[in-house]
Every structure is written in structure tokens, then in C-alpha cells.
Structure 1
Amino acid sequence: MAKSSADDEELRRACEAAIEGTKQKIVMSIRVAKGRGMWGKSGKLGRNMAKPRVLALSTKAKGQRTKAFLRVLKYSTGGVLEPAKLYKLKHLSKVEVITNDPSGCTFTLGFDNLRGKSVAPPQWTMRNIDDRNRLLLCILNICKDVLGRLPKVVGIDVVEMALWAKENNPTVTTQRNQQDGPVAATVTESDLKVTVERELVSQAEEEDMEALLGTYVMGIGEAEAFSERLKRELLALEAANVHAILESEPMVDEVLQGLEAATNCVDDMDEWLSIFNVKLRHMREDIESIETRNNKLEMQSVNNKSLIEELDRLLERLRVPSEYAACLTGGSFDEARMLQNVEACEWLTGALRGLEVPNLDPIYANMRAVREKRAELEKLKTTFVRRASEFLRNYFASLVDFMISDKSYFSQRGQLKRPDHADLRYKCRTYARLLQHLKSLDKKCLGTLRKAYCSSLNLLLRREAREFANELRASTKASRNPSVWLEGSSGSGHGGHSDTSPVSDAYAKMLTIFIPLLVDESSFFAHFMCFEVPTLVSPGGVPNGNRSDDDTNDDDLGIMDIDENDSKADKNSADLATLNEALQELLNGIQEDFYAVVDWAYKIDPLRCISMHGITERYLSGQKADAAGFVRLLLGDLESRISMQFGRFVDEACHQIERNERNVRQMGVLSYIPRFATLATRMEQYIQGQSRDLVDQAYTKFVSIMFVTLEKIAQTDPKYADIFLLENYAAFQNSLYDLANVVPTLAKFYHQASEAYEQACTRHISMIIYYQFERLFQFARKIEDLMYTITPEEIPFQLGLSKMDLRKMLKSSLSGVDKSIAAMYKKLQKNLTSEELLPSLWDKCKKEFLDKYDSFAQLVAKVYPNETIPSVAEMRDLLASM
């Protein structure tokens, strides 16, 4: 017999590879052919043609249970097995062998979960009867052991299957690796894990069948004859049973009579039960109606109780205590009564808030009692706000009037008095909490209160600043310095300037006293008048030692805990704009006294603007708080006014420089050049802080005007222009040499003057050299011009450039060369007013002459190689001896 595909290990491994990852184990795999009912039917060949498939039985352990599956695998285009269908054996209900197939190798498997499918189930055809029996036997064993039941088997005898199983119990040889080596052992297939462990027919059933067969002495050649005999006996037994039933007819009649009587009793009982059911239904409806009425009454009782409690709470909320009503409508605002006023305000605020919708149930909002009580509270609020606002306006004015009437409070002749607002702020703090509550009651009332406070305090601050500034100027001892610094006509000079430092010290004292005061007033006003702005910081440029202990805590009003919901940290841009407008009204006008000090200092010494500018910048850099906006504006205006005054001084000085241009004849060094050095030296002494830019801009303007004026004066007499320029540029360098080493702006102009000096020297020296040796260097220039167009050998044949012309020119120019050089020295010395410049100019002149003569000697050697002229070395020695 050919080997079955169920024993093909390669096929089993291919199936295991196809289902890898599913955690299932292959029990059996066998090759089959799949068809669609081709036996006894006509159809298309391609559709009914059998297709090769592999059926595999697999199991999967899940806890203590085992699941069984039937897998259909097909061959892919590459000949590799891949899963096609998956059936669960628990749904297997029928195994039918097709009778149309004479070989008996075709069967179908019916699954109860596929009965609704319109497609006929596939037919599986095996290679032979053994393969069919082996597969079906394995399926039945798995169903019996794993599922505990057997499917319906049609077209095959179970007894025949059992006999076949007994005769064809396959054996499998396994290898066990022991210490002594591999040993072959023969086991049955039922012993392996790949099959079920028990046979289709048990041992007891098999013994019963053998006993039954032993009762027959006739010889049975085959199972089919035995099956026919059993069928005949079964028919005989059924006929005997029918005969016995017909003989017992009287007994059946008695049973039927008893059943009829019982039926009548049951009918009577059913009628009684229907009557009782109707009565019970009516009783149940009555009970439900009674329970509904009781529930409604109970709910009404609970609701009435809750309503009474809610009304009691509402009435308590609507009640106005008599002591608070009296305080709000007619109480006094004296300091002793402020605690009662604050308590009344707190109650009124809470009462108004309690009648608002978020805190009061919306259903109560439109009740008549609530609306009337809200109107009454609004009337109380209006009355109290009006009374408190009127009192505070009068109180602020009376405080300031009292302080202004006391002359000893301000600076007097011979005594500078620092403003002290500690007592004023102490009295104001008494009403700080009242202002907080007025804000929570009516924000609009704060506008008039802020205006009243600003207008009253503005009078006091302006009076303090005016008296302080007047006494500050009167007590400062400083002689006046003239503002004419660069006037060319003033020949006496300005070397003896007096010390004007008290002027800038006075300005610094004005800022030291009043800038912290104004910042503190701004901060106090912002907090006292309930502006929602960040806390102010002290100006960075003010030493802490200049502030008294009383002023360090002026901003702490002790009112931060009144309204917890009013966040002071949130910056409100609209509130900040309103605050800056109020500060403008509070401090406006005080800048005039600062301007007066600046103008006074400018008249005494214009250069003190530099010191004042640096002091102002230092204070301005320390103002960072938003609520001190007016103080920053004041400092910015002061800085602009100081810059304007200093610019005015610079413009006047520049005008003095330009006036030198009007003189008809200028000789020597102009007077404003050394005067500018003196001015720059003193300006550097006055620089403080960040005033460098101001001074550098003045330097730029001064020097630019000086150089422009110098060039214009030089153009009035071109003959002596270069001498005039080189002397003045040299004087500029000499006077600013030390300052240029430390001041970058002056260093830039120093290098600019140095370049102009060199250019003027070059032009003047060239003019002197050409004046004495004109024919010599004109002859050299002609040769240079021709060398661009013709060769050097052709030049001696040109008109005026022959060797004879060369000899004549040399005789006329170099016959008395020592006298000509002496004449150059005298001409250089003749118009020079600065004798100290003569040695350096004469050295430059000799060097320039030697360079030009060297070029001439090279031209002669190239064009007239056979002619002899005095050598360059002879000329150098001659010049050295002069």
C-alpha cells in the first residue's frame, strides 16, 4: 500500500509554518481534492474541476479547555502553503459520504453556523478509502474527546469504521535520546499527542457486540448480510409493539375519560382564577391611587417647610440693621467714628452683593420685596457716598490751607527747609479704608475726590518748590563767568575762571530733595486713591541716606486686605492712563521752579549745563515705576531744557568763531584755536555720568565751524593761504595733543588736522622749490610727458630737448645752486610767523628737493647717458652743509 500523505513530515512542517504565530498544534495534515458536486451533475469544466488542498486538524490549549479547528490550506503561486479557510469543530454537525461517488472517497462536512449560506458546501475527495477513514476517524475522536459529542454520520457504518480502526492501527517509530544513545521504540498512534487517546468504540461496547454476534450459530460471511438480518429483526419487533398497543384499547379509553374529567376541572379553575385576577387588579389600582395622594401630601409638606426656611433667610438678608442705617444716613466722619463707618460700609457692600444674581437665586431677583429692598440699599449707598465725598473734599482743602498758612513750614531767608509730609499723610491714612469702600460702592465718586486732592496738594507742592528754589539761589555764592569764550577780539584771555561748582551742587540738591518727594507723593496718591497699579520703586539715582525714616513707609497704607478680590498685581492700562492724568494735575506747575534753577545756573556758568545734564541723566535712569510717569516727564523736560541752554551757548560760541572771517587780513595763529583747547579742557572737567554725548556733539560742532572758518579766511589771500593753514593746523594739534589721547572725538579731529597740515606743507614747499628751480623741473616734466609716446633715444632730437638745450638749462639753474638753496630757506622763513615750525619745514623742503632732483638725474641718465650732471650725493652733501 502506498504511503499516506498523513505520514508526510514535510507536509506537516509546511502546515506548521503556514499557521506560525497562532499558538495552534497540528494533529493531522493530509492532501485532498476540493470539488463542487461534479458527481452526477453537468457543469463547466473549469468551475467543477477538482483543486488540490490540504486539510489540517489543529488544537489550541486555552486554560483547562482545548479548542479544535479544521484548517483548509491552499498552494500559492510559488508552491507555498497558505491558510484559506478555518472551521471550528464545535460547529461540526454532520459528516456525509457522497453516494454518487462509486469509490466512496468523497464526503462533505456540514457546520451548523454555515446553514444560511447559499453556496453549497465543498466536497472533499481522498486518494483512497484508507485516507478517508483515517481522516474521519481522527475528526470523530477529537469531537468525542475534546467536545464530548459526536456529529451525525451519514453514508458510512460506524461499526465498519471501528473494525477498520482495529485492523489499521498505525505505528510510529520515535527516537528517544538517552545516555546510552538513540533507541527505537514502537508506539501506537493513540499514544502520541498528535491524536486522541481513545478509540471510537469502547472496550465494553466491543464485548457486548461480540456476545451479540456469538448468539448466532449461522455463519456470517460479511458485515452487509449481518446488517440486513438486523434490519429484518427490527421490523419484526416494531410490528409486535404495534399489536400490543392495539390489544390495550380498553385501558386507553379509561385513561381518556380521566383526562377529560381533569380537563373540566382545569377549565373551572381557570374561570375562577380570571375572576380573582380582575378583583386583584382593581385592588392594586386603588392602592396605587392612595399611595400617589400620600406622596403628594408628603412632598407638599416638605416643600412648605423648605419654603418657610428659605423665606426666613431671605427676610434676614433683606433686613437693614438700625445702627447701620443711622450711621450711613447721618453719622459723623470724625476719626473716632471711622470704625463704625467702615463697618457700615462693609455691611452695605455685602448686602448689595448678596442681592445680585450670582449670589442670589435668579428666581428671587424680580420679586417685589427684593426689588424694593435693592432700591432702598441703593438710596442708602447714594446718600452715604455723597456725604463722604463732600466731607473728604473739604477735609483735603482744610489740611492744605492749614499747612500753607504756617510760614515756618517753608524755606525762609537763611534757612533751607526740607518739605515734610509725614503729618499730612498720617491724617490722610485715617480715611484710606473709607476710600476703599467708597470705590467698591461707587467708582464714579473717586473722580471728584481725586481732583479735589490733586488741586489742594498742588498748591502746597508748588509753594514748597518755589520757596526752596528761591532760597537755594539766594544762599549759593558763585561769581559769574562770561559766556564769551571764543571771541577773537578779547585778548586778555580766560585763564582765571572762578569756581562755579556750587551752582551744579545747588541743582543737585534741588533734585535730591524734590525728586524722591515727588515719587513718594505719586506712590502715595496711587495707593491712597485706589489705583490698581504696581507698587512704585525708589529712584535708583537717589542715595538712601537722603531719605528720612518717616518717608520710607509712606506708601504702606495698611489697606491691602480690604478687598481680596481686587487684585493689585494685575496691571490695568486704562487705570494707569487715568493715574498719569491725575498726577499731571497733582504736580503740574512745579517744573517752573526747576527751570528757574537751570536758567540761573546757565547765566552764572554755561558750562555747568554739562554737570547738570549728567546729574539729570542719573536720576532719570533710576525712574522705572509706571506710576511715576510725571517725574520721568519732568526729568526729561529738564534734560531737554539743559541741552537747549547748552546748545544756545554752543551756537553763540560758533557765532563768535564765524566773526573772525570778517577781518580783512589775518596772519599767524587765530585766537580761537588756543581758546578752544582751554574750553575743551574745562568741559572735560565738568563731565559727569552720561554727558559724554552732549560734549562730543559740542566738540563736533565747534571744530567743524573752526575748520570751515579757517579755510574761508585762507581763501581771502591765496598767496599766503598755505602758510596760514599749516600754522593754524599745527597750533590746533599742539594745543589738543594731551586731550586727543583720552577723548576719541578730539582724536578724530586731531588726525583730520594732521592730514590738512601735511597737505598745506606739501603745497607750500613745492611752490618754493619750483620758484627757485623752475627751468630745471620744467625740463624734466617735458621729458616725462614725451616718454609716454616715444622712446628715450628719440627725445634728444626733439625741439628744445637737445643736449645743447640740456647744457644751457643746467648752466642757468645749477651754476649758483648754493645761492638758490639759500634763497629757498629765506623765502620759507620770510612769511612764517611761528618760528618753531621752521626746522621741520626746512627738513621737509630739503627732502622734497632731493626726491625731485633724484628723479631728474634718473631721467638724464636714461635719455642723455653721455652727459654729466651733479650727482644726488653731491646735492645731499650740499644741503646738509647749509
Structure 2
Amino acid sequence: MAKSSADDGDLRRACEAAIEDTKQKIVMALRVAKGHGILGKSSKLGRQMAKPRVLALSIVGDDVVFAAAKSKGQRTSAFLRVLKYSTGGVLEPAKLYKLKHLSKVEVVANDPSGCTFTLGFDNLRSQSVAPPQWTMRNIDDRNRLLLCILNICKDVLGRLPKVVGIDVVEMALWAKENTPSVPAQNKVRDGGPVASSVVRETELKVNVEKELVSQAEEEDMEALLGTYVMGIGEAEEFSERLKRELQALEAANVMQGLEAATSVVEDMDEWLSIFNVKLRHMREDIASVIQIETRNNNLEMQSVNNKSLIEELDKLLERLRVPSEYAASLTGGSFDEARMLQNVEACEWLTSALRGLEAPNLDPSYANMRAVKEKRADLEKLKSTFVRRASEFLRNYFASLVDFMISDKSYFSQRGQLKRPDHADLRYKCRTYARLLQHLKSLDKNCLGPLRKAYCSSLNLLLRREAREFANELRASTKASRNPNVWLESSSGSGQNVTATDTSTVSDAYAKMLTIFIPLLVDESSFFAHFMCFEVPTLVPPGGVVNGNKTGYDDDDDDLGIMDIDENDNKSGKTSAELEALNKSLKDLLDGIQEDFYAVVDWAYKIDPLRCISMHGITERYLSGQKADAAGFVRDLLRDLESRISMQFNRFVDEACHQIERNEKNVRSSGVLSYIPRFATLATRMEQYIQGQSRDLVDQAYTKFVSIMFATLEKIAQTEPKNADTFLFENYAAFQNSLYDLANIVPTLAKFYHQASEAYEQACTRHISMIIYYQFERLFQFARRIEDLMFTVPPEEVPLIQIPFQLGLSKMDLRKMLKSSLSGVDKSIATMYKKLHKNLTSEELLPSLWDKCKKEFLDKYESFAQLVARIYPTETIPSVAEMRDLLASM
């Protein structure tokens, strides 16, 4: 038999040198082949990729330490080392496993030789990766290694790993046969003896005491085996019989254990009965003690409850008491400014007292007490009395303030002096009662409705009076001459222009009206919203700017200072119901004041209708700045003003368009209509009034004006078809000339400019073609007849065609036609020039028209010459160059 690597002392020494640890002793070293397979399966690819490795078993210390540890029952460290060969063939450490973590030893079932096995460790990080497969050279090497591993686990670690795929009996027999210095023989079925190998104890470090089976067990096993005469094939039957006998022995052991346990249980039952009697007596003693403790606790609890009840009743009585000074203020106190502090304190106490009698401030158990119900009724009576008295006082107070201001004429504009409305004193006096209104709202929200109406009714009279006096004096103090509304009328003659006076003071007066009153109305709306406790945000900051204009109130006159009345009232949210109620009240406050604004607009329109453009732009600027929801009436007022200004301007546009349409009946179709240059003058002034504002109003007017102008122009031209084209292109040319500068900067006018240019070209083309055909009718009719025949007849056959009752197309006919048409061509061209000039009233158009006429005639003659050269190649006519020279000389 070949020598095993376990007997190789050089291999062990090489392993000891590789680990470089003097404390560890190599017990066994064997050469193996390392392979990998699928988890739980053997793989042929793993054999093909097997790598040479050395498995070495090591323990800490030498053999003496190992034996001492075994005898004393102490545990030592044992390791399984994996070493690999480096490039130079020198062993070097690859893996290190602690045998205390070895949980499973499994021989791979798919390997027929039985030399391949795996070692499973329970501390590996990834249990999903298949452990390496180790393949030994022969079964003996496998058994030596596994037996050594199992002995170390049993003796050193005190436990055995799970063994799968190995017959323990077979292993024990192999160990007995291969015990050091004990020769043995195994017989196979053919009876041939085989000598087993002898293993030295110093080399294998394995003795009889370290075998899997003890000496006594081994003797019993030999005696048992001696009773059977079986071959190798009866191993399974033998194994089953051993299992049955083992089960019988275990059953006998269980019965013996049950008898011992029964005896112990009977003893335990006697002890428990004794303890039960003692525990019963103890429970009776404890129950009596608990009864005494319970009575003591109840008495103590009753004492504590009585004390707490007295304290609660004292607090309740204090809460139900009405201080005499507060009762006097609530029922009959004065509302003068000096007494307002006491009234506010009384309101605060009343509000707090009412809240204190409501859940969750008051315990629900007190709610049905008679004293609480009576006190709540008394507080409700105090509340209603105070709310009624305060509301009546405030209504009278608002009316008296406004009556005092209306009776004093110095508050309003007078002749020669525009008075700016000043409500600083009025608001200062109202602010005295702002906190009172806050408390009235918390006491009874329904009382605010009548108070708001009273305030709006009184202040509306003052605002309307101020607006009326201011508007009247504003119109009286504005000096402006009235412009006649005849911008596009033809009665003053086509060569005259309407004298435009300076009416800028009109639009300035309107702007002043807005500058004074729009911020005032916004501030009044804001003051009213917060003074009357509407839950809306601030409209403008104190002393802020509205549409680029100062609100007109200094920090001392801060109308929004009432926001500081209740520091706890920081609600920024607003509901649609609050806004609806606010806007309804603002209408009552400001309704009627719009009539004075309308009067200023109508007055400005009568002086200069074009000033509607400036006023429209001014209104747009103010309207774009009104973003706050609480200024709804002011936005509506500005929208109404914008609509009224647009209506007045559209009225002016309609009247001007009516003046244009009247030209259809009263004007002859000759010369340039008067409204053409007048429209240019009107458009120039309208552009001056726009001043960078929205162009919609003016562009709509341009569209309406020009549409009516062009439609009227076409209708007038149709009254005299003979001179229609001349009339059209003269007027379209005048339109272009008058609007050339404006069309470069105004997109709407540029569109109409191009429209007039196209109409001008069309009218010129028609008129020139008519003059040319009138003078050279036979020449171009001859050419047209040839062109018509060429659609059906080849060119060489055209001179042969004879048409009955018509002039022929033969060469002779061509010569006759040329003689009659071109014999005096210079005179004919001169005649064309005279006809072109005959009905023309705009002399400046004649050069361009004559150039167009010559070009058109030359183009037509060139086409005729090409046609003659194709049909009559042998005939000679005046060349195009000669005709061009003739035209150039004239």
C-alpha cells in the first residue's frame, strides 16, 4: 500500500513553518483536492477545477498540555487550517476554521469512491454559498482525517458534529483494525486476507482512548457481532435490528424513570396539602387587615373630598359674583370719552364671566345647578342691556359727527378754492369707540348690522356732499375752449384743417378728481372694514401709495391703527360671506358718489371728445392698482367710469363715421375727399392722447374709421364708373401720403396702409390698361386672336386660317393692321399721355403713372413682337428697342 500523507513528517513540518505560531501544534496534515459544486449537489465541473490543498489539524500547546487538559476536563483551542501552494511551491495559509464551530460532516453521496466530503461550520457569513468539497486520495486517508476530527471534537470540545453519509459502525471497525501496533485482518467475500496498515501513535496522535467507541462498548459490540454470522450485504438488516433493540432499551429506561417520578410526585402532593392549609389561614388574616385599611382610606378620602368641595364652591361663588362697579357701568354708566376705559373694562369682565359659565371652562356637573342658571340669566340680561345702550349711543354719535361737519361750510370746496376732504378728526373721534365695537361684536355679533347701516347712512351724506362740491368747483375753475365736433366733416373744405385748441386741462381736471377721491374712498373702505370688525386683510399700508399717489394721510392719521385694538385678533383668513357682507355695506357707504364722477366725464367729453382717450388711460392706471378684495366698490366705480368713457368715445366715433357716410350723397367722384387728410390729423392727435396707455380703445376707433372710409370711397367711385379708377387711386394715394409717418409706428394703421397700397396698385393697373387698349385696340386684339387660335392650331397654320365675317390673320392682314395702328405711333403715345392727364387732379401722381403706363405698354408690345416672330417669321415690325427709345424720348 502506498504511504499516506499522514505519515509524512516533512509535510507536518512544512505546515508548522507556514503558520509561524509556536504555540500551535500540528496534529495531522493531509494532502487533498479542493473542489466546488452546486449547493447540496456534486458537480463534475468541480472535479475538473479541483485545486491542490493541505488540510492540517492543530491544537494550542504540545501533547502534554493536550493530555492534561483532557484529564482535567478543560477545553483547549483546536483549528482546521487550509494551506495552499504558492507560485514557488511553498505552503502558505489560505483559510482558518475553529473546530468549535464545526456543525456537520457530510460525505458526498454522488461520489462512488466515498473520498469526497464537506465540512459545515455554523459561523459562516453566507450559508447560501456551497461549502468547499474536499477529496482525499483514498478511503484510509479520509477515515484518518475524519476520525481525528471527531476525536478532537469529543475530547477537547465535549461534543460531536452531525455525521451524514458515514456508517458509525464501519468507522469503529476501521479504527479498531488500524489501532497503532495492533495488527488485524479483514476478510472480504472471497476470503482473501488483507493486511491493514500500522499507524504510529506519535505520528497520528490517536490512541484507543480517543476512539469513537469506548473499550467496554467495543467489547459488547464484539460479543454482539459474535452472535451473528453475516456477510457484507446484510449490513442494512443488521442496522435495522440494532435500531429495534435500541428502541426497546430506551422504552425500558423510560418506564424506570416514570416509576421514580411517580414517587417524587406523591411526596410533592403531601407537601402541597400542608402548605395549602397554612395559606388559607394567612388569607383570612390578610382579608381582615384589608377591611380595616379600607375603612381608614374611605375616611381619609372623605375628608380630602370635603376640603376640595369647599374650595370649588368658594371659586364658583367668586365666579358668580358681579362687582358693583362693573354692574354700574353696564347698566347706567355714561359713554363719554372719559368713561370709555371703565366701560371697556366692564365689557372685558362681562365677556370673561359669560365664557367662564360655558364649557369647557365650567365643569359640566355645575351647568344644571340652580345658582349657575340664575347667574347666567342675570349676565345675559346685563349683556342685552349694555348692547342696547351702546348701540343707541353709537348711532346717535355717528349722526351727530356728520351733521356737525355738514353744517360747517369750511369743510367743503368753495368758489375759487378747491378743498381737499379731510376726515382725520372724524376718524380720530371714531377710534375712541373702536375697542368698544370689538367687545360688542364678541358679546352680540348681530348688533353690528344696524350699527354698520347707521354709520354708512351718515357718512354717505358727507362723502356725496364733498364730491359734489369738489366736482362743481373743479369744472368751474378749469379754463378750456370747446373743440367743434366736426373732425371728419367736409363742410369746411378739403384743404382746411380744424384748429385744435389745447384741452389738456380737461383731462388734468379728471385726473385730479381721481387723485383726490380714489385714495380717499379706498381709505374709507379700509377704515370702515376694520372699524366695523370685518375679518379682512389690510388694504394699503399706513401712509402708503395707491397707483403711484400718496394716500394723503400721515402716520398720525393712520386709519388702520385700529388693527392694534385687539392684539390677539390676528385672523388673516376671510370668508366669502364676510366679503359679500362688506361689499354690500360699502355700497351703502359710497353709493351715489359715482354721479359726480360721471358729471366730470360728460363735461370733459363736451369740451373735447378726444380727451376720452386720456381719461381712459388714467382710469386704467387706477384700476390696475385696485387688488384688495375689501375695495370692491372702488373697483366697480373705476370700471363704470371706464365703461362710460368708452361709451362717450364710441359715441364720438359713431358721429364721425356718420359724417363720413354723408359724403356718399353729397360729394362728386373726383379729387381727394376731405376726410382723407382730416383723418390723418385726427389720428395724429389721438396718438398724442394715448401717452403709452392701452391701445385697444384707439385701435378699435381706427378700424371703424378706416372701414367706413374705404367702404364710402368705393360707393362714391361706383356713381361714375368712367372716372372710378382715377378717383380711387388718387384717394388711396392721398391716404398713404398722409399716414406714412404714423403707419411706421402704429401697427393698426400700418395694416390699413398696406391695404390702401394694394387698392391703389389695382386701380392704377385697371386705368392704365384701359388707356392702352383704347389707343391700340386693333394691335392687341389681333394678338389676342392669335393666342386663342394657338390653343388648337399649330403656329405655322395660323396665317392660313380664314374666319367668315372677320378680319383674317394672313400676312396681308397683319400688314394692314400694322399700318393702321403704328403708322403714327408717336401721336398715339402722346394721346395716351393726354388721356392719362385729362381727369387727374393730383399732379404729383402723373410722373409715376406715366412711368407705369410706358412700362405696361412696352411689356405688351414685347409680347406682341415675340408672337409675330413666331407666327410670321418673314414679316418685319418695329423692334422693341425702337419702341423703347421712342417712349424714352417722350
- Normalising by the smaller structure, the TM-score range is 0.7 to 0.9
Q: Give the Cα–Cα distance (whole angstroms) in 2 for the partners of residues 198 and 80 of structure 1.
A: 26
Q: Does 1:823 align with 2:828?
A: no
Partner of residue 880 from structure 2, selected from 862, 872, 875:
872
Contact 2:150–2:161 (8 Å) recurs in 1: no
SS of equivalent residue, structure 1 residue 146: coil
Partner of residue 532 from structure 2, selected from 524, 529, 532:
529
Task: State the Cα distance separating 1:302 from its structure 2 match.
Answer: 2.2
TM-score, L = length of structure 2? 0.74
Q: Does 1:578 align with 2:589?
A: no
Task: Tell me the residue number matched to 1:337.
Answer: 339
Pairing of 1:628-639 with structure 2 (within 5 A): 628-639=631-642
Contact 2:387–2:444 (8 Å) recurs in 1: yes
Task: Tell me the residue number matched to 1:395.
Answer: 397
Task: Tell me the residue number matched to 1:468.
Answer: 470
Shift in CA distance, 551/607, structure 1 to aligned 2, threshold 3 Å: farther
The answer to which of 10-19 and 761-770 deviates more is 10-19
Contact 1:818–1:878 (8 Å) recurs in 2: yes
* Per-residue CA distance 1:6-28 (angstroms, 9 max, x = gap): 997547766999799xxxx9999
Task: State the Cα distance separating 1:680 from its structure 2 match.
Answer: 1.0
SS of equivalent residue, structure 2 residue 445: coil
Partner of residue 513 from structure 2, selected from 510, 519, 531:
510
Partner of residue 749 from structure 1, selected from 748, 752, 755:
752
Q: Does 1:682 align with 2:690?
A: no
Pairing of 1:420-459 with structure 2 (within 5 A): 420-459=422-461
Which residue identity is paired with 2:853?
Answer: C
Shift in CA distance, 749/287, structure 1 to aligned 2, threshold 3 Å: same
Shift in CA distance, 541/501, structure 1 to aligned 2, threshold 3 Å: farther
Task: Tell me the residue number matched to 1:264.
Answer: none
Contact 1:141–1:200 (8 Å) recurs in 2: no
Task: Tell me the residue number matched to 1:91.
Answer: none
Q: Does 1:69 align with 2:103?
A: yes
Shift in CA distance, 546/428, structure 1 to aligned 2, threshold 3 Å: closer
Q: Give the Cα–Cα distance (whole angstroms) in 1 for the partners of residues 850 and 677 of structure 2.
A: 25
Shift in CA distance, 26/323, structure 1 to aligned 2, threshold 3 Å: farther
Q: Does 1:644 align with 2:647?
A: yes
Which residue identity is paired with 1:483?
Answer: N
Contact 1:140–1:150 (8 Å) recurs in 2: no
Task: Tell me the residue number matched to 2:820.
Answer: 812
Contact 1:16–1:26 (8 Å) recurs in 2: no
Contact 1:711–1:725 (8 Å) recurs in 2: yes
Which residue identity is paired with 1:143?
Answer: K
Which residue identity is paired with 1:823?
Answer: T
Task: State the Cα distance separating 1:81 from its structure 2 match.
Answer: 11
Contact 1:610–1:688 (8 Å) recurs in 2: no
Q: Give the Cα–Cα distance (whole angstroms) in 2 for the partners of residues 551 and 545 of structure 1.
A: 15
Task: Tell me the residue number matched to 1:179.
Answer: none
Task: Tell me the residue number matched to 1:559.
Answer: 564
Q: Give the Cα–Cα distance (whole angstroms) in 2 for the partners of residues 377 and 651 of structure 1.
A: 70
Task: Tell me the residue number matched to 1:175.
Answer: none
* Per-residue CA distance 1:163-206 (angstroms, 9 max, x = gap): 9755479xxxxxxxxxxxxxxxx995776xxx9999479xxx99
SS of equivalent residue, structure 2 residue 831: helix
Contact 2:614–2:689 (8 Å) recurs in 1: yes
* Per-residue CA distance 1:465-495 (angstroms, 9 max, x = gap): 0010011111111111111211112338443
Aligned residues: 736
Task: Tell me the residue number matched to 2:153.
Answer: 142
Which residue identity is paired with 2:154?
Answer: C
Partner of residue 519 from structure 1, selected from 518, 522, 532:
522
Q: Give the Cα–Cα distance (whole angstroms) in 1 for the partners of residues 880 and 161 of structure 2.
A: 139
Q: Which runs of 5+ in 2 are unaligned?
A: 7-28, 43-53, 58-78, 82-94, 123-137, 163-167, 184-199, 217-221, 227-269, 803-807
Shift in CA distance, 638/196, structure 1 to aligned 2, threshold 3 Å: farther
Which residue identity is paired with 2:103?
Answer: F
Q: Give the Cα–Cα distance (whole angstroms) in 1 for the partners of residues 406 and 671 of structure 2.
A: 65
Q: Which runs of 5+ in 1 are unaligned?
A: 29-56, 89-126, 170-185, 210-222, 228-266
TM-score, L = length of structure 1? 0.75
Partner of residue 758 from structure 1, selected from 756, 761, 765:
761
Pairing of 1:216-615 with structure 2 (within 5 A): 281-491=283-493, 493-537=496-540, 542-544=547-549, 547-549=552-554, 553-562=558-567, 564=568, 566-615=569-618
SS of equivalent residue, structure 2 residue 103: strand
Contact 2:30–2:55 (8 Å) recurs in 1: no
Which residue identity is paired with 1:442?
Answer: D
Q: Give the Cα–Cα distance (whole angstroms) in 1 for the partners of residues 842 and 779 of structure 2.
A: 31
Q: Give the Cα–Cα distance (whole angstroms) in 1 for the partners of residues 115 and 518 of structure 2.
A: 97
The answer to which of 713-722 and 623-632 deviates more is 623-632
SS of equivalent residue, structure 2 residue 156: helix
Task: Tell me the residue number matched to 1:713.
Answer: 716
Which residue identity is paired with 1:701?
Answer: K
* Per-residue CA distance 1:824-860 (angstroms, 9 max, x = gap): 1111111112222222211111111111111111111
Shift in CA distance, 425/716, structure 1 to aligned 2, threshold 3 Å: same
Pairing of 1:175-186 with structure 2 (within 5 A): none
SS of equivalent residue, structure 2 residue 691: coil
Shift in CA distance, 58/340, structure 1 to aligned 2, threshold 3 Å: farther
* Per-residue CA distance 1:590-634 (angstroms, 9 max, x = gap): 000000000000001101101111111111111121111111111
Shift in CA distance, 281/657, structure 1 to aligned 2, threshold 3 Å: closer
Q: Give the Cα–Cα distance (whole angstroms) in 1 for the partners of residues 827 and 698 of structure 2.
A: 53
Which residue identity is paired with 1:145?
Answer: V
Aligned-residue identity in percent: 72
Contact 1:68–1:146 (8 Å) recurs in 2: no
SS of equivalent residue, structure 1 residue 527: helix
Task: State the Cα distance separating 1:370 from its structure 2 match.
Answer: 2.8
Q: Does 1:848 align with 2:856?
A: yes
Shift in CA distance, 189/753, structure 1 to aligned 2, threshold 3 Å: farther
Contact 1:523–1:555 (8 Å) recurs in 2: yes
Q: Give the Cα–Cα distance (whole angstroms) in 1 for the partners of residues 113 and 491 of structure 2.
A: 121
Contact 1:523–1:627 (8 Å) recurs in 2: yes
Shift in CA distance, 541/866, structure 1 to aligned 2, threshold 3 Å: farther
Which residue identity is paired with 1:368?
Answer: R
Contact 2:402–2:458 (8 Å) recurs in 1: yes
* Per-residue CA distance 1:718-737 (angstroms, 9 max, x = gap): 11100110111111111112
Which residue identity is paired with 1:732?
Answer: F
Q: Give the Cα–Cα distance (whole angstroms) in 1 for the partners of residues 590 and 509 of structure 2.
A: 21
Q: Give the Cα–Cα distance (whole angstroms) in 1 for the partners of residues 202 and 305 of structure 2.
A: 87
* Per-residue CA distance 1:520-576 (angstroms, 9 max, x = gap): 1011111111111121127866444572426862222253534x2x43322322212
Contact 1:540–1:619 (8 Å) recurs in 2: no
Pairing of 1:659-738 with structure 2 (within 5 A): 659-663=662-666, 665-738=668-741
Contact 1:523–1:535 (8 Å) recurs in 2: yes
Shift in CA distance, 168/512, structure 1 to aligned 2, threshold 3 Å: farther
Task: State the Cα distance separating 1:313 from its structure 2 match.
Answer: 2.5
Q: Give the Cα–Cα distance (whole angstroms) in 1 for the partners of residues 272 and 779 of structure 2.
A: 163
Which residue identity is paired with 2:374?
Answer: E
Shift in CA distance, 308/678, structure 1 to aligned 2, threshold 3 Å: same
Task: State the Cα distance separating 1:710 from its structure 2 match.
Answer: 0.1
- Please tell me the root mean square deviation across aligned C-alpha atoms, in Å: 4.4
Q: Give the Cα–Cα distance (whole angstroms) in 1 for the partners of residues 540 and 627 of structure 2.
A: 7
Task: State the Cα distance separating 1:807 from its structure 2 match.
Answer: 0.5
Contact 1:669–1:731 (8 Å) recurs in 2: yes
Partner of residue 797 from structure 2, selected from 772, 781, 794:
794
Task: State the Cα distance separating 1:792 from its structure 2 match.
Answer: 1.4
Q: Give the Cα–Cα distance (whole angstroms) in 1 for the partners of residues 621 and 476 of structure 2.
A: 26
* Per-residue CA distance 1:739-786 (angstroms, 9 max, x = gap): 222222112111111111111111011111111110000001111112
Q: Give the Cα–Cα distance (whole angstroms) in 2 for the partners of residues 720 and 577 of structure 1.
A: 67
SS of equivalent residue, structure 2 residue 355: helix
SS of equivalent residue, structure 1 residue 742: coil
Task: State the Cα distance separating 1:651 from its structure 2 match.
Answer: 0.3
